[in-house]
Structure 1
């Protein structure tokens, strides 16, 4: 008998409209917080996204799982019992001989069978203390009952600040210290473009295979160098309960930080991304100290710069370039001779040609004061004299204006 197509109902038409609304695309777009998330996921470290309700944390995780081709398993921590994470006791045939095994929940079994996936622990800040305690082993050891999650499973959690969480709790210090904490905020342009149908694309970082040994050595020197000079930063448990629920320094979190520095170095990540990661692991204060230590390590050797001023590669960032030029002047001061003094002037000319002119004012003035009486003035000084003179006139004008305002 011939079959006739049934007429579309209004619900069918509504489903078609919903499908069109969900039909979106992605595009490569610089997004430091998304890049930090993917770097931490690549490093196989648990990540905790903090943000106000409706900010897009869940949507970002869904898009990340799809982009990485990982099956997403969402577990709402606040609606589970502690036994859902530690395992339910199941009495076997001979408990006296075999013991009582702890049976894992179905979602854990599915993850183990798949061998890979993204475990999303949502609403973590609404989980009561007993559930948070049960999650400790899940997050750190990847164990749920008698099962161990395979290496292909990554863990990401999300939480709202206690002030905006439904019946929220502060995160316990032991659980908080197991996460990389990322503050999730919306970008106006990203939201507008996403609502128009195009969202940023999440991709795993491209690690340079040739840079892996150097990245590990760099990370170890950075973290080890900081902690050897600042032993008080090795373990510092915050005094307030609220601050204990965020990132703070411990041997565990420093090990995570070292891993993230290595991954960021091998991936060529920006300073903004590295800042999000290290401050989200050991806290703002220790994280900023580590970033300063990294900056000092990345400064070029003054002797290398003096050896070849014409081919010298100076840092792009203004503060690092200023520090590099100051280091060159101090190297000349420590071992002054005519050849090194001339090389320093040639380097300042190169800095003038490739960067902001005001950065050479102080080093040029200091270098001029190091001249010995029998040293001829190099021709390159003429190219710098105008910059120094202009800077001094600007300083005098600013001082005059300030004095005039103050005298009124």
Structure 2
């Protein structure tokens, strides 16, 4: 059930998903039911029998030169304006086809046709040792996906056989869910600042390189999925599944443990009472708090919240956290609106830095 919930969240968040599991476990049937439950058109493309030109487009000579014509399924998704492109059996696609899929998965571009943002790419794969003519996924293709692993729920299968197959209680993201993406990006940035070696870890083993691992791209996907999961109050198992699916289990365990240990205050409480707030001595905790406050202020920037954020930064600088506060100050200054005046007393501490960066 947690896998279905995670998959539904990722589809709505527009993050490409790759579902792993042995043959016959029900990946294709579940994805079909999920698309139906989310009212999304579904196009199924069997990657193993396709040619690279099925994704990069067929050259067609026209009056303006040669264009790369996409297949009919891409046109149908473009006309619908939303949907799921399901790439089945992707682990049996040869390397040339995998290379052609790179732009499809990352940019949603098929030939010369850009698919709408509300089209999400979902793929399924059997482990190479269980696939006929299976291949390890290339590292560039694997790192474009959130990897979800399918487990067989015996009781769920029995219930389905007896009462019929359906997926209910799917989470539906609210229209405002993207508002918190920036906050989650700040949280991820605070962690990577604390654990810089986890920004990029390309596995040396080819098999592991075809799964989830940390990179700037997969950390960005993590932030997006954290915002989406929070908007529907997803439980810890779902959050862990989505996070591990992007950056791998090792980095996921470190990141979630760090988040639990932070005990961050509500940034809105700090903006409401900036004078009485004091940063903790712990550096990574202080940095995470400051970037969350700035993200909250920038997300709904008014004169009052603008001034309050600068007071928080000034206090942080006065209490020995000048380097940390300076990073947040650049982000706040860059978000300034023309009608907002600079609070000279609070900004004075950061004036040389902001002038150097062309922000003053």
2:19 to 49, 52, 56: 49
Note if 1:79 corresponds to 2:49.
yes
Looking at structure 1, the residues matched to 165 and 237 of structure 2 have their Cα atoms a distance apart, in angstroms, of 21
Matches within 5 A, 1:156-167: 156-167=122-133
Which of 76, 101, 115 is matched with 1:110 structurally? 76
Measured after TM superposition, the shift of residue 227 of structure 1 is 0.3
Q: Is the 8 A contact 1:76 1:123 kept in 2?
A: yes
Counterpart in 2 of 1:277? 242
Distance 1:69 1:112 in 2: 16
Matched residues in 2 for 1:86 and 1:188: separation?
Answer: 41
CA distance in 1, matches of 2:181, 2:77: 31
Alpha-carbon distance, 1:200 to partner: 4.8
* Alignment of structure 1 residues 118-133 onto 2, 5 Å: 118-133=84-99
Q: Is 1:292 aligned to 2:257, yes or no? A: yes
Residues of 1 paired with 2:164 and 2:106: CA distance? 36
**Could you tell me which residue of structure 1 aligns to residue 210 of structure 2?**
245
The secondary structure found in structure 2 opposite 1:196 is helix
Question: Is the contact made by 1:38 and 1:202 (CA closer than 8 Å) also made in structure 2?
Answer: no
Change (3 A) 1:221 1:104: closer
- 1:244-269 per-residue CA deviation (whole Å, 9 max, x = no partner) reads 00001110000000111111122111
Pairs aligned (count): 267
Q: Please list the CA deviations of residues 241-296 of structure 1 after superposition, one character each: whole Å capped at 9, or x if unmatched.
A: 00000001110000000111111122111110011000110001111111112212
- Structure 1 stretches lacking a partner, 5+ long: 1-30, 305-408
- Pairing partner for 2:5 from 35, 45, 59: 35
Q: Which moved more, 1:220-229 or 1:244-253?
A: 220-229
Cα separation, partners in 2 of 1:233 and 1:101, compared to 1, 3 Å: same
In the alignment, what sits opposite 2:272? Answer: none
Task: State the TM-score, normalized to the length of structure 2.
Answer: 0.70
| Separation of aligned partners in 1, 2:204 and 2:8 | 31
The separation in 2 between residues aligned to 1:207 and 1:116, in whole angstroms, is: 15
Normalised to the residue count of structure 1, the TM-score between the two structures is 0.62
| Equivalent pair of 2:94/2:135 in contact (CA under 8 Å) | yes
* Cα distance, 1:151 vs structure 2: 2.1
SS in 2 for 1:246: coil
Structure 2 equivalent of residue 144 of structure 1:
110
Q: Which residue of 2 aligns with 1:185?
A: 151
Cα distance in 2 for partners of 1:192, 1:274 equals 27
Q: Which of 47, 59, 62 is matched with 1:92 structurally? A: 62
Which residue pairs with 2:190 in the alignment?
225
CA contact (8 A) 1:35 1:202 kept: no
Match in the other structure for 1:60: 30
CA distance in 2, matches of 1:183, 1:116: 25
Shift of residue 222 of structure 1? 2.8
Is residue 222–residue 293 contact of structure 1 (8 Å, CA) maintained in 2?
no
Counterpart mapping for 1:263-342 below 5 A: 263-298=228-263
Q: Cα offset for 1:130?
A: 0.2
Partner Cα separation in structure 2 for residue 117 and residue 108 of structure 1: 10
- Pairwise CA RMSD of aligned residues? 2.0
TM-superposition CA deviations, 1:334-369 (whole Å, max 9, x none): xxxxxxxxxxxxxxxxxxxxxxxxxxxxxxxxxxxx
After superposition, the Cα gap between the structure-2 partners of 1:58 and 1:206, relative to the gap in structure 1 and judged at 3 Å, is closer
Distance in 2, Cα, partners of 1:157 & 1:203 = 23
Displacement, 1:66?
Answer: 1.3
Q: Does 1:256 align with 2:221?
A: yes
- Counterparts of 1:216 and 1:148, CA distance in 2: 24
Distance 1:208 1:293 in 2: 28
Partner SS for 1:163:
helix
Runs of 5+ consecutive residues of structure 2 not aligned to the other structure = 270-360
